[in-house]
Chain A
Amino acid sequence: MTTLPEKTDRKLGLVIDLDTCVGCHACVVSCKGWNTENYGAPLSDQDPYGADPSGTFLNRVHSYEVQPEEGAAQLIHFPKSCLHCEDAPCVTVCPTGASYKRVEDGIVLVNESACIGCGLCAWACPYGAREMDAAEGVMKKCTLCVDRIYNVNLPEEDRVPACVRTCPAGARHFGDLGDPESDVSKLVEERGGMDLMPEQGTKPVNKYLPPRPKDELDQVDVLAPYLQPVAEEPKGFIGWLDRTLEKL
């Protein structure tokens, strides 16, 4: 059903720390690895080793440069996957009911056996979180690793999304953002977690932690005088050599 639930029992989602993400793309690889073998159709690649490779991914890492008025620019790595929006426009536009938001935990999923591959949901998502699989002709998106987080066959420490489990920098956190007492909610509170494109009215569940301001060192550079550029024009023997060589 494409009618959005009034409210969900829990709001499971991710908190992504833009301060600690090092842009290693490990989450991209682990996400693709887990999701191509598990829930739903595999994530296909087209011409993977050829001149024009392209493929389906549920999570991608952008990199942005932020140039302040003064001082050096900052480079920020920016992982992006489905934000499991509360007012998910991708769900309501779906004509078949393939797209839905779960009442129990708020996860937005696609029932691939009902998807006609019209692509309208991807049009409605402002974040580019949905990609049509070119081989299967169905819509793929982040499942919040629904087949890991409740999977009793996995050791307890693995019952988190693959991207969260993999991140070597600890930049991705998973939890219930509907519970103000949860670790993720506290983290968002403490670090001023933000929504992406709040003006689009999607009410994303996933939050982003802004990068912390960089240190400013008030340092006196004692070496500076010694590092002045040397004379441009060579003199003495070197000068003579230089001039002679020039003539040859």
Chain B
Amino acid sequence: MHPAPSVIIFTTLSGLGFGLLAWLGLGFPEVTGWVAFTFFAIAYALAVGGLVSSTFHLGHPERALLAFTQWRTSWLSREGVVSVATLLVMAVYGAGLVFWGESWRLLGVIGAVLSLGTVFCTAMIYAQMDTVPRWKTPLTPLLYLMLSVAGGALLAGQVKAAMLLLPLAAAAQVLWWMRGDGAFAQSGTTLATATGLGGTGKVRSFEHPHTGSNYLLREFTFQVGRKHATKLRSIAMLLGYVLPFSLLIMPFSHALALVAVLSHLAGVAASRWLFFAEAEHVVGLYYGKR
């Protein structure tokens, strides 16, 4: 799949933002006044910034309100509804903390659940795609949720939790990669089933329907070299998990914490780039790819 920057930025930032909101909703850290304001500002900047960036790849962003209507069947629509609900609930909860120094616990817990619900909906947009076997697994929402809570813990300054969650997220990541590498072959979709011509012999794409490029080739047949992908996986591992974890072991300082957060963010962005770039869509078969 084409790794569109708007979607990578969106899923990376908003995942982290909603993760932080979840921790704040549960009262970790228990903050009020200006400190609460700062935490909430960071969380909203990430979550809303991500959501706004996701509208950049739309052909008609002015009609985006319609995307709230089809929540009965569409995970994208559900994501929209749940994210707005989250932002509203957490805004009220945050206002309580900032202006009245009150922690309305129940509201916070609801907000936390909604936050993770948003991340789950985002992940399900991909995990529901039969057409992309690498994505079609419960491991996809698991990975998104793990990254969100681990990154959120890091941002919320929950050092102990982060030290537990980062390795768990790393494990989910490795598991997701390992399963993903064999997923296309496992899916059973081949050029033979795509054309129905496998019965008589070996099918090969002889000629494309067009000499130039088209939407399908641009959107669905992106391929990364194996070497390139392995390198990026190492970078994602190192920046996303290993470095932040090592920094957490050291005596706490705000500067180190900041480096840990930025490194984690860069690592997740690299992993997210691969999430799209390595994903093989079955339509590529018709063009003799895969």
Contact = CB atoms under 8 A, between A and B. Distances in A.
A200 B130 contact: yes
Contact of A213 (B129, B191, B200): B200
Interface string A198-237: 1111000000101101000000000000000000000000
Interface in B274-289: 281-283, 286-287
Nearest to B281: A123
Label chain A's interface by main secondary structure.
loop
B195 to A, nearest CB: 6
B283 A3 contact: no
Given A123-B132, A126-B283, A197-B193, A64 B70 contact: no
Interface string A25-60: 100100000000000000000000000111111001
Contacts of A55: 212, 214
Contact of A3 (B1, B73, B206, B212): B73
Interface stretch (B19-27, B40-48, B74-82, B152-160): B74-82
A47 B124 CA distance: 37
B175 interface: no
B201 interface: yes
Interface in B159-210: 187-189, 191, 193-197, 199-210
A114 B63 contact: yes
A115 B70 CA distance: 12
B63 A116 contact: yes
Contact of A123 (B67, B129, B191, B213): B129
B80 A127 contact: no
Given A63-B206, A64-B195, A116-B66, A122 B215 contact: yes
A225 B202 CA distance: 34
B123 to A, nearest CB: 14
A132 B282 contact: no
Interface in B91-143: 125, 128-132
B60 interface: yes
A238 interface: no
A168 interface: no
A76 B191 CA distance: 13
A93 B201 contact: no
Interface in A126-150: 126-128, 131-132, 134, 136-138
B112 to A, nearest CB: 25
A94 B70 contact: yes
A126 B196 CA distance: 14
B145 to A, nearest CB: 21
Contacts of B286: 62, 80, 127-128
Chain B: interface residue count, which band?
35 or more
B84 to A, nearest CB: 13
A132 B60 CA distance: 12
Nearest to B283: A128
A5 interface: no
B203 A196 contact: no
A67 B50 CA distance: 49
B219 interface: yes
Contacts of A94: 70, 74
Contacts of B189: 126, 197, 199-200
Given A116-B58, A118-B76, A65 B203 contact: yes
A75 B195 CA distance: 13
B10 to A, nearest CB: 12
Contacts of A61: 209
A118 B77 CA distance: 11
B5 interface: no
A119 interface: yes
Interface of A: 1-4, 18, 25, 28, 52-57, 60-69, 73-76, 78, 80, 89, 91-98, 114-120, 122-128, 131-132, 134, 136-138, 194-201, 208, 210-211, 213
What are the 5 tightest A-B residue pairs by CB atom distance, in nearest-first order? A117-B59, A137-B59, A60-B209, A68-B201, A95-B77
Interface of B: 1, 57-61, 63-64, 66-70, 72-77, 80, 125, 128-132, 187-189, 191, 193-197, 199-216, 219-220, 281-283, 286-287
16 contacts: A52-B212, A54-B215, A62-B205, A62-B287, A63-B205, A76-B195, A91-B73, A94-B74, A96-B77, A116-B61, A120-B125, A128-B220, A134-B215, A198-B193, A200-B282, A208-B196
